Structure 1
Amino acid sequence: MNILLTTVGSAGDIHPFVAIGRELLSRGHAVSMLANPYFASTITHSGIGFVPLGDEVNFQEMMRIPNAVHPRKGGITVLRELVFPNIKLFYERATEVMREIRPDVVVGHHIAVGTSWACERLGVPLATCVLAPAMWFNPLDKSVYAQGMPENPHRWFTQLSLWLARLQMRSQYDRPVNAIRRDLGLPPQKNRVFDDTTDVGLSLGMWSRHFRGPLPGDPASGVICGFPWHDHSPKLDLDGDLALRYLDECEQAGDPPIVFSLGTAVVHVAGGFYHAAAEACRKLGRRGLLLTNRPEYAPKPSELPPGVRAFAYAPFSKVMPRAACTVHHGGVGTTAQGLRSGKPTVIVPHAYDQFDHAARTKRLGVSGTVWATKANAASLQRVLGQVLGDSQIAVRAREMGRQVAAEDGAIVAADAVEKYVSKR
C-alpha cells in the first residue's frame, strides 16, 4: 500500500505517527508523512518519506499567544488562533500531495482538519488517529476537560460538560468554519471538532486499555490500539548522552533521581517551575534530573543544590525506568512513557487534555497531581513526599508498567489500517 500520514502539533503529536509509520514500513508499505519542517530530521531518520507543511514552527512564539496555555481557555485558544486559521492551508497542501502520490489511505491526526476535507474531496479513505481518550467525547467516560472539574466526575457532570461544549463550538465556530468550506466548494457541516474523531471510517484510539478501556458509546469504527512507542530526537542526542551518564552516577551511588520535565510545548511558559523543582529536591534530600528542553530554561549551575543536574533532553524510555519518580506536565506521550516505566509519577497539568491524564493516572493509583497554577517548591515537596512514601503506589505502578509495556499500539494500528483498506 501507499500510505500518507498527516499530523500537526508538538513532538507528542508527531512521535505516535512515526511509530505507526515505522511499523507500516516494516511490512513493506510505502509511507510518507506530511508535517512541519521542524520535525524533518525525526521523520527521515525513521526512514519515512518527509513532505513539508508550511514554514518551520516556533513553539516558543506559539505557546506565548495569550491564553494558549490556560487551564480553561487553552484548548479553545489553540483552535481559534492556530488550528482554524490554517485549515485552508492544510487542505490545499494535503490535496496537492494526495494528487501527487495517490495514497491508498490517509492516516491523519484528528486536529489536522484539512486532511479530512481533502479526503472528502478526493474520495480517499481516512483513518483518524485520536491520541487521547478524552477526545472520543464519550458521555459515559469520566473525562476531565479543565482545571476545577472533579477528578472523578459523575456521569451527569460529563454529559452536561460535553453538551455545553458542543453548544459553544456550534455557536462560535460552525459559521466561520463553514465559510471556509463554502469557499472551497464543500457542503456545510456541524460539530466537526467533535465528529472528526468519531464519525469516520476508522478511529484509532492510541492509548492502552489499562489506561482507558472500551465503553458503550465509543465510535462504531473505534479500535483501542495501545500506546505507540517512539521518543528519539536526533537533534538532541548529545545532551541525551550527558543526561544518561548522570543517571549512571546516580545508580552507582544507589540514589535514583526524581526526573522533572514539561515536554516540548508548555515548557516555553514554565516560569519558575525548574527552580521550584530543584528546591523541592533540596528539601526532600533527593537527587534531581531536570529536562528543560532549552538550556536557558534551566537554573544556573550555581543555583542548583548538590545532586541536582539540568539537561535539555533525554529519551523518556531510557530515563523514567531508572528514576525514583517522574514529575511531568501530563502530555499523552509523556504520560504513556510514565506508565510504561513502572515508576510513580506526579503530573503538573497546564492545559488541554493534561487534566484528564492527571485524573486518570491518579484514579489508577499510580500518580499524584499538582496543578501548574499552584506548583511551587512546597507543593511539589508535599505531593512527592506522599507519592514516594506510599508503598502501594509503587506496587501499582510496577504492575501498570508490566501491563502497558506488553502492548504495542503501532502494531495494532497497522493491523487495523490494513484491514480497513482491504475491506474497501
Structure 2
Amino acid sequence: MTIVIMTVGTEGDVRPHIALGEGLLARGHAVRLAADPGFKASITKVGLEFSPLTADFAGMMRHNPQALDGRSGLAAARVVVAETRRMAQDWPAQGLKAAEGATLLIGSGNVSLLAASLAERLQVPFVQTQLQPLEASHALPPVWFRPRSLPASVTFALHRTLRQTAWLLLRHTANDMRKALDLPPYPLKGPWHDPKATGGRILFGFSPHVVPRQPEWPARIAMPGYFVSAKNADYTPDTDLARFLQAGDKPAYIGFGSMLSGEAETLAATVRDAVQRAGLRAVVGSGWSNLRRFLPNSAYIHVVNHVPHEWLFSQMRLAVHHCGAGTAAAAVRAGIPTVPVPFVGDQYFWGWQLHRIGVATPTQNLRSLTAQTLGDAMLQATSPHMVANASRLGTQVRAENGVQNAITQLEKWNVL
C-alpha cells in the first residue's frame, strides 16, 4: 500500500505524523508525508518520502508576532484565515502530485479537507487525525476558545457555533480547492455534519488518560494515544549540556517552542529573574523566539537549541512551556508537572485540561507575566502532590503505544 499523510503547521503538528509514518513504514507500507518544506530533512531522515505543501508558519508568526502572542484571539484568527487562504492556492496541484498512487489518505488540521477531497476524487479511503479534541461535548470547552465556566448546554452549543463559523470563514477556500479538483462544492452548512463527506473515521492523537472519551463522541472516533517515535528518546547530549545536568539537582525546563514573541528580550529577562527567584536551575529552549540572544549561559541557566523533548524532559523536574499539543504530550509522558504559559489557539485548552487533572499549575497570562508570578508558579509545580500526580499519569501514558494502536485501528477499519 501507498499511504499519503498530509499535515502543515509547527513542530507539534508535523512530528506526530512523522512518528505515525515511521510506524506504517516499519509494517511494510510505502509512506509519503506531504508537509511544509521546512520539515523535509526531518521527514526524509527517517526514510519517509516527502512531498511539499506550501506553508510557512514560522514566517506567519514572524510577520505577525503581536497577533499571535496572546493579545487577541480574534486577531490571531484573522491572521490564520488570511494565511490559509493564501497558502491554499497551491494545495490542489501540490496535493494531486503528493497523492499519486495513494491507496489511503490521512489528513490533519488545515489540510484535512484537501486530503478528504483528494480521496473523494481518487476513490480511496480517507482518515482524519486530530491532535486536539475538536468534536463537540458538554464537558470540554472548544479548543480554540479560551476556557471559562459555562453551563453544559451553552458549552455544547458553542462547539457547534464555532465549528460552523470556522467553516463559513474558510468555505470559499475549501470550495475553490474542490473546483480545482473538478469536484462539486460542499454545501453551505459544510461537510463536517456528514461523515460520508469526509470519510467519517477519526484518530485522536492524544491519550484518553489526559482527555477521557466523552459520551457524545461516536464510535467512529478512535483514541489510540499519542503518536510518538521511540527514536526521540535515544539521544546523546553535547558535552556542555551533559555537564550542566550533572552539576546539580534536576533543573526545570523553560521554553516556548514554535511560538514567536514580539517581546523576546522582555520574556528572556522574566525567565532569568524567575529562575533566580525560585532558586532553581533551568534548561531554556531558545525556540523560534531565539531567546539565546538575551540569555547567556550561567551556573543556573543553560540554553539549548534543538534537543528532543522526549529525551530532555526525562532529565527535568518540571516544564514551563506554551502548552502546544506536542510539548504538553512530552511533559505528560515524562511524568513531570507543567506550568502553562499559552500564546494562542488550543494552548489555552491544554493548559486548562492539564490543570484540571492535577498535573499543571493554573495557566499563566503571558501579557502580565512577571518574574514573581512565574517563579511562584514554578515552586507550586514542585509540590509533592502535583509531582506525584504527574509521575502517576506519566506511567499510565508511557504504557500506551499510540502509533501501534493507530495502525491496529486502521486495520480494523479495513483501510490498510
TM-score, normalised with respect to structure 2: 0.88
Partner of 1:227: 226
Secondary structure at the residue paired with 2:44? Answer: helix
For 1:193 and 1:352, the matched residues in 2 are separated by 22
Partner of 1:87: 88
Partner of 1:149: 147
Amino acid at match of 1:421: N
2:316 aligned with 1:326: no
Partner of 1:76: 77
Deviation (angstroms), 1:27: 0.9
Secondary structure at the residue paired with 1:367? Answer: coil
Partner of 1:206: 205
Q: Of the candidates 245, 249, 253, which is equivalent to residue 248 of structure 1?
A: 245
Q: Of the candidates 136, 139, 148, which is equivalent to residue 137 of structure 2?
A: 139
Partner of 1:105: 104
2:390 aligned with 1:391: no
Deviation (angstroms), 1:317: 1.4
Cα pair distance change 1:298/1:131, threshold 3 Å: same
For 2:120 and 2:298, the matched residues in 1 are separated by 57
Deviation (angstroms), 1:38: 0.9
For 2:388 and 2:35, the matched residues in 1 are separated by 40
Amino acid at match of 2:166: M
For 1:88 and 1:243, the matched residues in 2 are separated by 46
Tell me if the contact between 2:164 and 2:190 (Cα under 8 Å) persists in the aligned partners: no
Cα pair distance change 1:27/1:173, threshold 3 Å: closer
Amino acid at match of 2:123: G
Amino acid at match of 1:402: T
Cα pair distance change 1:106/1:243, threshold 3 Å: farther
In structure 1, the gaps of 5 or more residues are none
User: What number of residue pairs does the alignment pair up?
Assistant: 408
Partner of 1:375: 369
Partner of 1:352: 345
The within-5 A match list for 1:122-201 is: 122-133=122-133, 135-136=134-135, 138-145=136-143, 149-150=147-148, 153-169=150-166, 171-175=168-172, 177-182=174-179, 184-189=181-186, 190=188, 192=190, 199-201=198-200
Amino acid at match of 2:108: H
Post-superposition Cα deviations, 1:362-386, rounded to whole Å, max 9, x if no partner, equal 0110101212222221210121122
Amino acid at match of 1:208: S
For 2:406 and 2:259, the matched residues in 1 are separated by 26
Tell me if the contact between 1:264 and 1:293 (Cα under 8 Å) persists in the aligned partners: yes
Amino acid at match of 2:87: N
Secondary structure at the residue paired with 1:73? Answer: helix
Cα pair distance change 1:242/1:132, threshold 3 Å: farther
2:322 aligned with 1:336: no
Secondary structure at the residue paired with 2:306? Answer: coil
The within-5 A match list for 1:407-418 is: 407-418=400-411
Partner of 1:10: 10
Partner of 1:420: 413
Amino acid at match of 1:331: G
Amino acid at match of 1:290: V
Deviation (angstroms), 1:118: 1.5
Tell me if the contact between 1:4 and 1:34 (Cα under 8 Å) persists in the aligned partners: yes
Secondary structure at the residue paired with 1:264? Answer: coil
Cα pair distance change 1:275/1:196, threshold 3 Å: farther
RMSD: 2.9
Secondary structure at the residue paired with 1:276? Answer: helix
Partner of 1:404: 397
Tell me if the contact between 1:289 and 1:309 (Cα under 8 Å) persists in the aligned partners: yes
Tell me if the contact between 1:139 and 1:159 (Cα under 8 Å) persists in the aligned partners: yes
For 2:366 and 2:326, the matched residues in 1 are separated by 18
For 2:290 and 2:352, the matched residues in 1 are separated by 31
Amino acid at match of 1:13: D
2:359 aligned with 1:361: no
For 2:48 and 2:9, the matched residues in 1 are separated by 18
Tell me if the contact between 1:169 and 1:191 (Cα under 8 Å) persists in the aligned partners: no
Q: Percent identity?
A: 24
Partner of 1:262: 256
In structure 2, the gaps of 5 or more residues are none
The more displaced of 205-214 and 63-72 is: 63-72
Secondary structure at the residue paired with 1:279? Answer: helix
Tell me if the contact between 2:264 and 2:289 (Cα under 8 Å) persists in the aligned partners: no
Deviation (angstroms), 1:192: 4.5
